[in-house]
Structure 1
Amino acid sequence: MKLFEIFDKEKAEERKRDIQEEMKRGYFDDFKDLKETQGRMFQPSEQLYPAGTSPHLPPLAVMEPGGAEVMFPPPQGSLRVALLCIAFRAGAEDKLESWSEPYRDGLQGCSGARWFDLSLVESAVMSIWPFKQMILRSGLTAPAAPSEVCLLQREPIFHFGDATEIRRALGMTNRLTGYAYLIDGKGRVRWRGSGQATAAEAENLVSCARELHSAGD
């Protein structure tokens, strides 16, 4: 029992330090960084990270627009390559589209290629009814027309609550910009980008995604 008390105390202290760190960095700090960097928190990868040294995406409980709760990333074998776009605020959508649209067009017809839009909702208020239902409903889209069945479809997912672990693991230091990652079939992060993509950067993303799809590891 003493041992458990020690662990609980250490966990509480760690959480306290996390909260203090978050309080020191607020909206205006993020806005200042956004203005200075144009939303580019890190430079896009020029090539795929080696599989052996690539970090695994931390398991995260997410909700689909219909309300079902699932774990992300998906089980091994359910994809070959996936683009994961992450946003904390709606203002990041334009930046994310500069990555997702070229990926969607470039990976059309590639079996096992997927595209996820992850919204991280950390606000306690927005995580309760009716706000939570409104957010989930925003991810609902009309069924695809018969001619569009084969198209690569956006898959919106949402996480409500603390996102400290995934933020730190993926280097997401600013909540006002957008982040894009390529995930392989084993849930490893093989490429990353942030902010607005240039034409050359978007082309490189597509090239890396195709390479990862072809490798299929």
Structure 2
Amino acid sequence: MNRGYFADMSELRKHGGKIAMANKIIIPAMAAVKFPIIEVEQSDGQSFKLPISCSGKKVNQNMPSVPKATLLCLSFRASSQAMIDSWGVPFRNAFCDKEDVHLYEVSFIDSWLLCRKPIKQLLLRIMRKPKSEDNQGPLRRQIVYSFGDHYYFRKELKIMNLLTGYVFLLDKFGRIRWQGFGAATPEELPSLLSCTPLLLEEK
């Protein structure tokens, strides 16, 4: 869990961030595990907890309702953004008209200096915001940030390589029903797009 940058880079050169293949089929509800709760902040400074699920409490009236399907894209280094886009863009295009589908891109910031309150506030002001065309339709691309030490969060999800991207499809109870790694391949992307409608049909 505490291995260094060079170990991550060596692994990245071997497989390009594809540490494992994505699920081909949806994970049955009975076998699915809960996604660990994590606090995130928007660029305007508002904070809330993900995932938003039936068992969680909404922070305020501005928070969205509980979705039937949520795609959480995790990025620990800026280098993985292209990997995240390879999943997020087709997902957004496929379900842009669905009100009960959410898409979050979570950037993790663990630098001690950047986590200090004055620096963090300044950083949030200049952080990138979704383009207007990203939020046309009910499905909004929401870019959020998580500051601090994420050791135990990563340990729970078995995340070791910080240079690759991680993608999780959750149901309305916050359970992981599908997951992918690195950049999407032409064989993997259809599995994500076919599993999502199954969550929308679940009671």
| TM-score w.r.t. length of structure 2 | 0.87
Matches within 5 A, 1:196-215: 196-215=183-202
The residue identity in structure 2 corresponding to 1:58 is P
Residues 86-123 of structure 1, C-alpha deviation per residue, up to 9 Å, x if partnerless? 00111101111111111111112122001000111111
Cα deviation per residue 1:131-167 (whole Å; 9 max; x = unaligned)? 423442314346x47xx64252211111111112221
Aligned equivalent of 1:72, options 43, 50, 56: 50
Partner amino acid, structure 1, of 2:30: G
Structure with greater helix share of residues: 1
| Distance (Å, rounded) in 2 between the aligned partners of 1:133 and 1:60 | 19
Match of 2:88 in 1: 100
Q: Secondary structure of the equivalent of 1:162?
A: coil
Indicate the residue corresponding to 2:62 in structure 1. Answer: none
CA contact (8 A) 1:87 1:120 kept: yes
- Per the alignment, residue 142 of structure 2 pairs with 155
Among 28, 42, 48, the residue aligned to 1:50? 28
Within the alignment, does 1:178 sit opposite 2:165 as a pair? Answer: yes
Which whole-Å CA distance do the structure 1 matches of 2:158 and 2:19 have between them?
Answer: 8
| 1:140 is the counterpart of 2:129 | yes
- 1:123 alignment counterpart: 111
Are the counterparts in 1 of residues 76 and 107 from structure 2 also a CA contact under 8 Å? yes
Q: Which runs of 5+ in 1 are unaligned?
A: 1-20
Structure 2, unpaired ranges of 5+: 55-64
In structure 2, the residue corresponding to 1:109 is in which secondary structure?
A: coil
Q: Indicate the SS of the match to 2:173.
A: coil
Same amino acid, percent of matched pairs:
30
Specify the SS of the correspondent of 2:188: helix
Aligned amino acid, residue 74 of structure 1? I
Question: Which is higher, the Rg of structure 1 or of structure 2?
Answer: 1
